[in-house]
Chains A and B, each alone.
Chain A
Amino acid sequence: QVQLVQSGAEVKKPGASVKVSCKVSGYTFISYGINWVRQAPGQGLEWMGWISPYDGNTKYDQRLQGRVTMTTDTSTSTAYMELRKLRSDDTAVYYCARGSPNDYWGQGTLVTVSS
């Protein structure tokens, strides 16, 4: 069965970086893009970007451009999302999701940014 398993919760200080992983199983990794979506506490869903594990092509939301990098490791079927220069309003649950539309989702990773 298709599974996306994300890394555990993180607590970071403002200005730091965080890297969240998403290990997939149950399908051919390079056949589907991976999206990253975040959700601030009590808020809606915000698309952050997309990466193709096949060729590494990426699309990022312009509001995050320059602070976010998405990568993949095809040898381990893992996608990564790194967010730099963290601010308090980056506190959110971060999800990876397969394909467009997003038919399978990871369980979410809570990233808390606090001094």
Chain B
Amino acid sequence: EIVLTQSPGTLSLSPGERATLSCRASQSVPSRYLAWYQQKPGQAPRLLIYGSSSRATGIPDRFSGSGSGTDFTLTISRLEPEDFAVYYCQQYGSSPWTFGQGTKVEIK
């Protein structure tokens, strides 16, 4: 099983600041099988990024993904008030698909 470790656990930032979230895999993940999701309280997760760097439909361009192998990054260039949420990475290339434990982006 591929274990995904996200860091930091919590990121305290102000609106307008840049957020950089990390996802490290216990073994190599093909880039085309790495996704990022956003989840707000009481809601289902929402797909942001797939294939490590492709934005899902309707996702603003302030969200970007990068990385390869075992190290992947989600960047939010300028935080908007609606971006404060929990973010999860997921690999779906090797069964069982697995999620990271999440990074909470909170208002400082």
Contact = CB atoms under 8 A, between A and B. Distances in A.
A47 B98 contact: yes
Contacts of A50: 97
Nearest to A59: B95
Given A61-B96, A102-B35, A103-B56, A108 B44 contact: yes
Q: Range of interface residues on chain A?
A: 20 to 34
Interface in A68-98: 95, 97
B45 interface: yes
A101 B90 CA distance: 8
A100 B95 CA distance: 12
A97 B37 CA distance: 12
B72 interface: no
Contacts of A61: 96
13 contacts: A37-B99, A44-B88, A62-B96, A101-B50, A101-B56, A102-B45, A102-B47, A103-B47, A103-B50, A103-B56, A103-B57, A105-B44, A108-B44
Interface of A: 35, 37, 44-47, 50, 59, 61-62, 95, 97, 100-103, 105-108
